[in-house]
Amino acid sequence: DEADIKREKRKARELRATQWWKRRIAKGLCHYCGRNTPVKELTMDHIVPLARGGKSTKGNLVTACKECNNNKKNLLPMEWDEYIK
């Protein structure tokens, strides 16, 4: 529900301030397309989207270029693979 999504978004914002996230983006790689991307252009993406029941945990968060993140939207990993093909 809406309260759960709000709580998970807050958790994601908190994780963005951690050293764990800073190390992730410092690599400069998009999880989906594998392209080197400037740190300022990387976004945080939930592999399983919040709208589909995903959580803001380290195992569910990856770096993504803006293009991939915008194209993925609320797709699950298997749906994203179909989209790419």
Q: Please report where in the chains the tokens 């945080």 appear, as a residue.
A: 44
Please give the backbone phi and psi of residue 36, each rounded to the nearest 5 degrees, phi first: -70, 130
Determine the 3-state secondary structure of 62 from DSSP: strand
The correct answer on CATH 1.10.30.50 for the domain covering 2-84 is yes
Model pLDDT, residue 82: 83
Domain boundaries, the chain: 2-84
Question: What is the total residue count of the chain?
Answer: 85
Q: How far apart are the C-alpha atoms of 80 and 38, rounded to whole Å?
A: 23
Low-confidence spans in the chain with pLDDT less than 70: none
Q: Judge if pTM exceeds 0.75.
A: yes
Model pLDDT, residue 39: 95
Model pLDDT, residue 77: 87
Model pLDDT, residue 83: 76
Model pLDDT, residue 69: 94
Decide: residue 83, CB within 10 A, 0-12 exposed, 13-18 middle, 19+ buried. exposed
